[in-house]
Amino acid sequence: MAKKGGRVTGINGNMVTVEFDGDVSQNEVGFILLGDQRLKSEVIRISGKIASLQVFEMTGGISVGDEVEFSGLMLSVELGPGLLTQIYDGLQNPLPELAIECGFFLQRGVYLNPIPDKSWEFTPRVKVGDSVFPADTVGTVPEGIFTHRIMVPFYLAPSAWTVESIKPAGTYAVRDEIAVIKDSKGNKQSLSMVFPWPIKRPITQYLERLQPKEPLVTQIRIIDTFLPVAKGGTYCIPGPFGAGKTVLQHMTSRNADVDIVIIAACGERAGEVVETLKEFPELIDPKTGKTLMERTIIICNTSSMPVAAREASVYTAVTIAEYYRQMGLDILLLADSTSRWAQAMREMSGRLEEIPGEEAFPAYLESVIASFYERAGVVTLRDGSKGSVTIGGTVSPAGGNFEEPVTQATLKVVGAFHGLSRERSDARKYPAIDPLESWSKYPSVIDMAKVDYARSILFDGHEVSQMMKVVGEEGTSVEDYIIYLKGELLDQVYLQQNSFDDVDFAAPIERQQVVFDVLFKILGAKLQIEDKKTARSTINEIRQKFVDWNSVARNDERFEMYKNEIEELVGGQFVEYEGKAAKILQVK
Amino acid sequence: MQKVYTKIDSIAGNVITVRASGIRNGDLAMVTSAHGESLANVIKLDREEVSLQVFSGARGISTGDKVRFLGVPMRISYSDDLLGRIFTGSGKPRDNGPELTENLIEIGGPAVNPAKRIIPRNMIRTGIPMIDVFNTLVESQKLPIFSVSGEPYNEVLARIAMQAEVDLIILGGMGLKFDDYLYFKNTLEKSGAMSRTIFFVHTASDPTVECLLVPDISLAVAERFALDGKKVLVLLSDMTNFADALKEIAITMEQVPSNRGYPGDLYSSLAARYEKAVDFEGAGSLTILAVTTMPGDDVTHPVPDNTGYITEGQFYLRHSRIEPFGSLSRLKQQVNSDTRDDHRALMDGMIKLYAAYTEALEKKSMGFQMSEWDDKLIKYGEMFENRLMDLSVNIPLEEALDLGWEILAACFEPKETGMRSELVLKHWPKEAS
Ligand SMILES: Nc1ncnc2c1ncn2[C@@H]1O[C@H](COP(=O)(O)OP(=O)(O)OP(=O)(O)O)[C@@H](O)[C@H]1O
Ligand SMILES: [Mg+2]
């Protein structure tokens, strides 16, 4: 293809208009030539001979008449072994390498190889003459704790290709030729361990998409028990500023039971990424015995980095997630914050002078959000193995009000909603997920009947507390008052969880089950209590034991001690199980 | 290469357009009119049409005035000569000192590579319990004071600045009232800190465009000093005026507003400034304390709202105290594990009880019967407010923690605090139990 070019005709913020010759395609990458710098941009509108480009860099110093080069390629990422443990910007530029080259500051126009030039121990899986399809595995390399499949590039024609040559087992550089395949017409294609894929196109190399059913354990009690997430599912965390979205995602990225976690820090604070970046290489994942970093990839386009690259960053992240899903792995993508991504679209839409929708967001906001979350899923691959991509996105609604376009568009498509409440975070009730408003369509790790029963106590307790605001404590019966206290107890010792406590920060499933059982028996019990004062002091005492219990490790001898103490404490006042609770317990 | 143009095509708000070629985005120009000279910078290019915002405002500019392009972007002189000096938003002397033209540095430079950042680690002690205990301030933090007008936010800002052990203070004033400007100046002079202070001041009576430049110019200078190993504290008051200046220019440029007239990129514009806060490995640091006044005392107003999403917490100033709700330091957990073993538990536990107190207060105001528990909470809340929240309290962290336990012990039984038994046992004042 002949090199196509053009010249800058206008600059408005990070949008540049270019008069071009030849053909230019939508989402094609172009470079603005500024002295010896090449500034990466993406075509976002074409009208006659004028293309509008969003520039992924600061536009200071560009002038009308500057030369532009079009690449003929859509905005893509490089896929291959070596992605794990990397820290990329929104365009897959490796930030640590950039720091070595440029120092403290990000320098525009510097684009380094995303996949490091490294050699890998290759084991072939096919032999000459074999027939392969795109996404079939031709060999494997060990990448940290995983077997990384070297696959036939996804972009090749979806037909049978014949293996013409394949390298024997051995060590090869990542960009070396490891195989040659040819199609039925004899067209040859050389394969290395890396290939590109355009980020805005989902990877659909699977046989079938399945219903997300298997719980994705986060070790956060309120989520796993009451508002579960499923592997291959989607969920969102909207909440006002400072309510705890990032802390929640951070804890999830540490403790979630998945193979790989991809963190997309999209338009938020750089400092928050640094915590992950510095901590993860030190933290050992109990499941693998290796550091957490070995299962992590960070895409980091923080708020002061160029806005257009922020828009790209979530796609970069999800594309890499889909790539590893093709290896039969479970991937969790955590995006913080999807609102910043939406705002990046809004900024661009404004510069394009498109007709604004609600709060000036573009009219296509909803469909773009929907198709992003659609890229999650559990799939069966051609070799029969299963892989999944789970997407959890935070939403930062203006004014903390969920009645705004991004939250609303997201709620329409996700499978679980973890809404954070200002009231709860103000009162330091963390995680500040509102247990009454939030919902999930996925199955819990705990018997649903019990969970529903506990939830009803929460609702009833809340109702009583609202009533008390009208009629006072004096106008409330002891029975109702106890329900209220039980709701409070459940909240304080189970829903709330201290992310900064060495033990409490992660509650494995087995522990959740043990604790929940004890708690359930208290919630379901009719207690011998005559007056409100005794009720409060009894519940206080139980609460105190739970607080202490939550902070001792599972293998600590005091674990059983506290459990017994709580059971004894309740036993003293126990009359019988309340009807519904009795039934649930009998069935068991 | 300096080109002079003598035909201004349009004048709207503080933006003028001229037809010119070979002009670069962001470049400076000198506009000469009957009222004197003013700098302007290029904010948009469309073929031959160049839009410039005029720093001293477009009022009185005529279509025949002279525009001379300087071929360079906005810069500021950087050296120790800046210390003790007072400048305008565009870097011109406001005192009687000489103009500085040596060693020019660009303003609004690129972001720090996140991979080069380090985890903040040094607590800044202020002697204010609501900060030290509950919302610990940390070196390299970016944190605004949310306030309504009339509150003593500038006093709080000055007090923290005086107490903090920093090498350098840079005050960026935006729409600063002249009295407040003098207040800062006098306070710093009195304490002998003036010689390590630099002022970039835009007062309420100065042209709007200069207000826009204040954060960038202040932060560019601060960043250089930090790179040279200094601990720099930047005070920005009032960022709401900065946001309003952004709004004004956006409306002039006919941008589609997103929320109450503010441009859709308000978040990014504010973030670009606040994110300059940093701790450089092997060099100095840059801490930002700002003031964000909340129009109509409404925290959901776009300016405080966007700010809250950007900064690392906020101090909520109301009725001359730092409110326990709404106030937050997101960096506190980086430092409060090493202060004292009871710090974290006390910090959360006391606020939880204070939340319960406000409920009891509500109940009381409705005329309901108070239970024994309610009475305890009321007593607690009042003690908390008088002995810890009051801004006149000035005690070290350790004393404040002890005082916290004292208050708890004066009001509650240990098991009523909801804190871990082990900790309570260790710190509960002996005479009380
Ligand atoms: N689970 C938790 N346990 C203890 N403290 C918490 C928890 N969650 C949040 N916090 C406190 O609240 C602060 C703010 O939390 P976080 O940064 O997660 O908020 P956010 O919702 O992401 O806000 P923003 O939208 O502004 O990014 C934290 O720095 C921490 O001090
Ligand atoms: Mg956050």
Take residue A490 and report the two structure tokens written for it: 């459940």
Q: Look at residue B306 and tell me whether its pLDDT is greater than 50.
A: yes
Q: Which residue has the higher pLDDT, A287 or B381?
A: B381
Mean pLDDT for A181-206 is 96
A208-440: CATH superfamily: P-loop containing nucleotide triphosphate hydrolases (3.40.50.300)
Q: Which residue of A has its CA nearest to B140?
A: A271
Cβ of residue A284 closer than 8 Å to a chain B Cβ: no
Q: Look at residue B433 and tell me whether its pLDDT is greater than 60.
A: no
Q: What is the pLDDT of residues B146-185, one digit of tens each?
A: 999 889 999 999 999 988 889 999 999 999 999 999 999 9
Mean pLDDT for B308-334 is 93
Are the CB atoms for A199 and A76 separated by under 8 Å?
yes
Ligand at minimal distance from the CA of B309 is: 1
Ligand 2 geometric centre to CA of A396 (Å): 8
Q: Look at residue B85 and tell me whether its pLDDT is greater than 50.
A: yes
- The answer to whether the Cβ–Cβ distance between B369 and A472 falls below 8 Å is yes
Closest Cα to atom 10, ligand 1: which residue? A244
Ligand at minimal distance from the CA of B310 is: 1
- The answer to whether the Cβ–Cβ distance between B272 and A359 falls below 8 Å is no
Q: What is the pLDDT of residues A16-49, one digit of tens each?
A: 999 999 899 999 999 999 989 999 999 999 999 9
- The answer to whether the Cβ–Cβ distance between A274 and B114 falls below 8 Å is yes
Residues with CB under 6 A from ligand 1: A 239, 241-247, 268, 396, 430-431, 498-500; B 309, 328, 330, 332-333
Ligand 2 geometric centre to CA of B149 (Å): 28
Q: Look at residue B238 and tell me whether its pLDDT is greater than 60.
A: yes
Facing B326 at nearest CB: one of A343, A426, A547? A426
Mean pLDDT for B263-271 is 92
**Residues on chain A touching B301 (C-beta within 8 angstroms):** 399
Buried b (16+ CB within 10 A) or exposed e, A94-103: bbbbbbeebe
- Which residues are registered as beta bridge partners of A11? A16, B45
CATH architecture of B3-73: Beta Barrel (2.40)
- The answer to whether the Cβ–Cβ distance between A63 and B25 falls below 8 Å is yes
CATH architecture of A116-193: Beta Barrel (2.40)
Ligand 1 geometric centre to CA of B287 (Å): 20
* Mutate: best of B118, B268, B424, partner A, most A CBs <10 A: B268
What residue spans define the domains of chain A?
4-74, 116-193, 208-440, 448-587
**Residues on chain A touching B73 (C-beta within 8 angstroms):** 60-61
Q: Is ipTM beyond 0.85? A: yes
pLDDT at B368: 87
Q: Look at residue B194 and tell me whether its pLDDT is greater than 50.
A: yes
Q: Sorting pLDDT into bands at 50, 70 and 90, what band is A427?
A: confident
What 3-state class would DSSP assign to A104? coil
- The answer to whether the Cβ–Cβ distance between A398 and B44 falls below 8 Å is no
Q: Look at residue A402 and tell me whether its pLDDT is greater than 60.
A: yes
**How many angstroms away from the CA of A117 is the closest CA of chain B?**
20
**How many angstroms away from the CA of A164 is the closest CA of chain B?**
43
**How many angstroms away from the CA of B188 is the closest CA of chain A?**
31
- The answer to whether the Cβ–Cβ distance between A360 and B258 falls below 8 Å is yes
Q: Sorting pLDDT into bands at 50, 70 and 90, what band is B420?
A: confident
pLDDT at B2: 66
**Residues on chain B touching A361 (C-beta within 8 angstroms):** 258
C-alpha span between A316 and A293 (Å, rounded) = 19
This model's pTM is above 0.90? yes
- The CATH number of the domain covering residues in A4-74: 2.40.10.170
Domain A448-587 has CATH 1.10.1140.10: yes
Facing A543 at nearest CB: one of B326, B418, B422? B418
pLDDT at A2: 53
Cβ of residue A186 closer than 8 Å to a chain B Cβ: no
Q: Three-state SS string across chain B, please?
A: CCCEECCEEEEECCEEEEECCCCECCEEEEEEECCEEEEEEEEEEECCEEEEEECCCCCCCCCCCEEEEEEEECEEECCHHHCCCEECCCCCECCCCCCCCCCEEECCCCCECHHHECCCCCEECCCCHHHHCCCCEECCCEEEEEECCCCCHHHHHHHHHHHCCCCEEEEEEEEECHHHHHHHHHHHHHCCCHHHEEEEEEECCCCHHHHHHHHHHHHHHHHHHHHCCCEEEEEEECHHHHHHHHHHHHHHCCCCEEECCEECCHHHHHHHHHCCCEEECCCCEEEEEEEEECHHHCCCCHHHHHHHHHCCEEEEEECCEECCCCCEECCHHHHCCCCCCCHHHHHHHHHHHHHHHHHHHHHHHCCCCCCHHHHHHHHHHHHHHHHHHECCCCCCHHHHHHHHHHHHHHHCCHHHHCCCHHHHHHHCCCCCC
**Residues on chain B touching A106 (C-beta within 8 angstroms):** 110-113
Q: Sorting pLDDT into bands at 50, 70 and 90, what band is A1?
A: very low
Residues 84-113 (A) with a CB less than 8 A from some CB of B: 87, 95-96, 98-99, 102-108
Q: Look at residue A587 and tell me whether its pLDDT is greater than 80.
A: no
CATH 2.40.10.170 residue window(s) in chain B: 3-73
Q: Look at residue B432 and tell me whether its pLDDT is greater than 60.
A: no
**Residues on chain A touching B48 (C-beta within 8 angstroms):** 64
pLDDT at B232: 97
**Residues on chain B touching A544 (C-beta within 8 angstroms):** 415, 418, 421
Looking at every residue in chain A, the average pLDDT score rounds to 94
Cβ of residue A350 closer than 8 Å to a chain B Cβ: yes
Q: What is the position in ligand 1's atom list of the atom closest to the CA of A239?
A: 21
Q: What is the position in ligand 1's atom list of the atom closest to the CA of A249?
A: 18
Q: What is the pLDDT of residues A318-342, one digit of tens each?
A: 999 999 999 999 999 999 999 999 9
Q: Sorting pLDDT into bands at 50, 70 and 90, what band is B144?
A: very high
Q: Look at residue A305 and tell me whether its pLDDT is greater than 70.
A: yes
Closest Cα to atom 18, ligand 1: which residue? A244
pLDDT at B1: 53
Cβ contacts from A onto B, under 8 A: 217
Mean pLDDT for B175-197 is 92
Domains A208-440 and A448-587 share a fold: no
Q: What is the pLDDT of residues B377-419, one digit of tens each?
A: 999 999 999 999 999 999 999 999 999 999 999 999 998 998 8
Going by C-alpha positions, the residue among B215, B233, B253 that lies closest to residue B109 is B215
pLDDT at B220: 97
Q: What is the pLDDT of residues A370-394, one digit of tens each?
A: 999 999 999 999 999 999 999 999 9
CATH fit for domain B77-83+98-170+180-195+209-332, picks 3.40.50.2300, 3.40.228.10, 3.40.50.620, 3.40.50.12240: 3.40.50.12240
- The answer to whether the Cβ–Cβ distance between B111 and A59 falls below 8 Å is no
Cβ of residue A293 closer than 8 Å to a chain B Cβ: no
Closest Cα to atom 29, ligand 1: which residue? B330
Q: Sorting pLDDT into bands at 50, 70 and 90, what band is B430?
A: confident
Q: What is the position in ligand 1's atom list of the atom closest to the CA of B309?
A: 26
Ligand at minimal distance from the CA of B330 is: 1
Going by C-alpha positions, the residue among A79, A200, A88 that lies closest to residue A150 is A79
Q: What is the position in ligand 1's atom list of the atom closest to the CA of A396?
A: 25
